A and B are shown apart, each in its own frame.
Chain A
Amino acid sequence: EAGVTQFPSHSVIEKGQTVTLRCDPISGHDNLYWYRRVMGKEIKFLLHFVKESKQDESGMPNNRFLAERTGGTYSTLKVQPAELEDSGVYFCASSQIPGLAGGSNEQFFGPGTRLTVL
């Protein structure tokens, strides 16, 4: 079974440009999550989709970030316009059942997209 995949693995853009990150969850997983790790600090929650609906977007930093999950399959995270402080690693995760990690509730993480804004 394929795991969570993310594209691209790396992206280098200039300040002010737009970047779109993509996440393909594990097939059949209704729950999809975005996290990011900035400057080697803690990994922070961004948002949680249940199918195509945003269940919790409390971690989205500002309105330059737009997450979508049309059709409830893959998700995109667009940063427009990108700023220097957006540099970091963006992780996507998926799970069958929302809630506690453990057993079938485990959130499975992708390898991340490393974003560098110059």
Chain B
Amino acid sequence: GEDVEQSLFLSVREGDSSVINCTYTDSSSTYLYWYKQEPGAGLQLLTYIFSNMDMKQDQRLTVLLNKKDKHLSLRIADTQTGDSAIYFCAETLYSSASKIIFGSGTRLSIRP
């Protein structure tokens, strides 16, 4: 079935790295995504990775994909207060490429 799971909360000290994890069940994923939602704002696409890639790096963001374990992670280096938000893991499938399947979101809070 279509299922994307992620933990609900993560608290990180400012300046440390944040790692948000996600697992998915469907092996026919095409792309996997990380979206960010700040308070009062819409969903912003942070980054995405094609399913045949293992890693993607974009400035402070590193995405790791383990297809065997169906595990996706987002690492944010040097976490700042502006990174406080809800992060949603998501995927699209070959069978329905325009329908995004989201997880429940991980709320990242930054402590001084």
Contact = CB atoms under 8 A, between A and B. Distances in A.
Interface of A: 3-4, 31, 33, 35, 37, 40-45, 48, 55-56, 58-59, 91, 93, 95, 98-102, 106-112
What DSSP secondary structure best describes chain B's contact surface? strand
10 contacts: A31-B98, A35-B100, A41-B104, A43-B88, A43-B102, A56-B96, A56-B98, A101-B100, A107-B100, A110-B42
Closest 5 CB pairs of A and B: A43-B102, A109-B43, A109-B42, A98-B98, A99-B97
A101 B99 contact: no
User: Interface size class for chain B?
Assistant: 20 to 34
A101 B33 contact: yes
A93 B104 CA distance: 18
A100 B102 contact: no
Contacts of B101: 45
B17 interface: no
A31 B100 CA distance: 13
Contacts of B92: 99-101
Nearest to A50: B98
A3 B42 contact: yes
